[in-house]
Amino acid sequence: MDVRVGEVFKAPAGFPIITVDGYMDPSGGDRFCLGRLSNVQRTEASHRARLHIGRGLQLEHRGDGDVWMRCLSDHALFVQSFYLDRESGRTPGGAVHKIYPGAYIKVFDLRLCHREMQRVSYRDQDHSSGPHVDALRGLCVFRVSLVKGWGQQYPRRCIQDTPCWLEVHLHRALQLLDQVLHLYDLILNKA
């Protein structure tokens, strides 16, 4: 729901594939086990959703920073992703993409993200307010709900209404965003 549970999981360097599952034993360092997170405020809906996560999902880092997702669960995953929005011709940030069990799909493209950062910051150079940092930061993040969807066709309107979800922050993309914003400041200060 809308309460963060547990510490932030930082994927260790050297592991191109990270598994997020509903089990208890995080052996190996390349697994984030949701089953071992305790929450005294857990709702019945969260408890039921966690029981259905099972093998969960895998996130695979490929190439220079692209991310692919494999649905290992017997239940669908629901993803909010700038890349998937663009590929499907939808308004960025406005769509929820259903990923079926067994599917393997690209959910993030680093080069596309970087180009969009540059485009937005270049476009906003003529405006005194500058680029919208929160919107740019949103390019570097994607969200995944496990088991339950949200959006127009569901009773849950936003991801915070779903019982179990993740927000994935992409370190390399955030580094590029920092560089783009720094360059924007340099250009703005020279003008």
Domain with residue 66: its CATH number is 2.60.200.10
What range does the domain containing 86 cover? 17-109+141-169
Number of domains in the chain: 1
Single pTM value for the model: 0.84
Residue 153 lies in a domain: yes
The amino acid at 131: P
Residue 79 lies in a domain: yes
Residue 177 lies in a domain: no
Query: Looking at per-residue confidence, does 30 or 124 come out higher?
Result: 30
Residue 161 lies in a domain: yes
User: How many angstroms separate the CA atoms of 67 and 22, rounded?
Assistant: 21
Lowest mean pLDDT among 7-11, 55-59, 72-76, 110-114: 7-11
Query: Looking at per-residue confidence, does 146 or 37 come out higher?
Result: 146
pLDDT value of residue 78: 94
Residue 77 lies in a domain: yes
**46 pLDDT tier (thresholds 50, 70, 90):** low
Arithmetic mean of pLDDT over the chain? 83
The amino acid at 124: D
- Per residue in 165-188, pLDDT (tens digit) is 999 999 999 999 999 888 877 766
- DSSP secondary structure string for all residues of 102-130: T-EEEEE-HHHHHHHHHHHHHHGGGSTT-
% pLDDT > 90, the chain: 39
Residue 191 lies in a domain: no
Residue 133 lies in a domain: no
Cross-strand pairs, 21: 33
User: How many angstroms separate the CA atoms of 190 and 145, rounded?
Assistant: 44
Residue 9 lies in a domain: no
pLDDT value of residue 1: 60
